[in-house]
Amino acid sequence: MQRTLKELADLVGGRVAGDGSVVVTGINSIDEAGPGEITFLANPRYASRLTDTKASAVIVTDAKLSPKLPAIVVPDPDLAFAQVAGAFADHSVPRRRGVHPTAVVGERVTVGRDVGIGPQCVVEEGATIGDGTVLEAQVYVGRNASIGRDCLLYPHVSVRDGCILGDRVILHCGVVVGADGFGYVTVKGVHHKIPQIGIAVLEDDVEVGANAAVDRARFGRTIVRRGTKIDNLVQVGHNVHIGEQCLLAAQVGIAGSTRVGHHVMLGGQVGVSGHIELGDRSIATAQSGVDKNLPPGTIASGAPARPRQQHLRGLATVDRLPETLRKLKRRIEELEKRRGPGQE
């Protein structure tokens, strides 16, 4: 694939500065880009790196940042570069169409137009696969599960019985949607399994990273609302509700029945207790342990999590503690010397 700089500028709604006829054949970082490739500069502090780049063009916020290279000028170079990358990616990886002869498709399965079902996939009876959806090798779709339009399920994904995916959902290798929630009742030291008879629902434009799991509900639904992005190795427990446009980084764990508002951000390895609420646009920084409700807009840190400024003050106090103790020790020694021997 190749595009002129002007064509790419039209694609992202930007303005060309310099020669718009420059041909772009690929994308890359500032340091690794070569002739024919386009790069981007999101932070003006790194503008000096454009001096040595071998890229043929760059995406910037201001043409003055790139006096020598032809440029596309946009308000948000990150977003524009993502759009350009998407255009190149769509052409670089052909998507399969049709049903591979080794796939097993059950009875009463509804398969839409332009669907691809790869080698050794299993689609159980009563399932629905929407138009344009692709199942790569060894994907499992359970009984009566429903997958929307233009979804992409990478190898070894499992969507269990009755679960629902909206449109344009992306599930990376090893994702499991609809495994049983972690529910047991203990009687006289013996753990008895509680049947998990609900489902899991992922709405439109949700993306889930490799080896993550979204458990089915005990009753009703576990829900991930539209546009939410989930990183690798994340665990979403049963009956959790996650709002729209949230970001969950790697190794986040959310215990059952917790409610997460919209545009919430959870950093890497954040643990969230069950049966609590995280307000809209709240943030828990990496390795936080959230065991209480977070009001909307809160930035929390630490374990147990508390408002970030309070957490930082606590860390600063601990850091100062050794020196404070040394000063107190010296002061006590001085007072003892002044008091003299035999005085109490």
Q: CB neighbours of 278 closer than 8 A, spacing ≥ 6? A: 258, 259, 260, 261, 264, 272, 284, 290, 293, 294
First to last CA, the chain: 90
238 is catalytic: yes
Shortest CA distance to 75 belongs to which of 60, 85, 65, 86?
60
Q: What is the DSSP string of 69-122?
A: S-EEE-S-HHHHHHHHHHHHHHHHSPPP-EE-TT-EE-TT-EE-TT-EE-TT-E
Compute the distance between CA of residue 85 and CA of residue 253 in angstroms, rounded to an integer.
Answer: 31
Shortest CA distance to 22 belongs to which of 64, 66, 61, 52?
66
8 Å CB contact between 146 and 164: yes
Provide the β-strand partners of residue 266.
248, 284
User: What CA dihedral angle connects 228, 232, 236 and 241, to 10 degrees?
Assistant: 0
| Residue among 100, 156, 172, 238 flagged as catalytic | 238
Provide the β-strand partners of residue 23.
4
Cα–chain center distance at 302: 21
8 Å CB contact between 255 and 237: yes
User: Can you say whether the dihedral through the CA atoms of 99, 166, 140, 230 is positive or negative?
Assistant: positive
The residues annotated with a catalytic role in the active site are 238
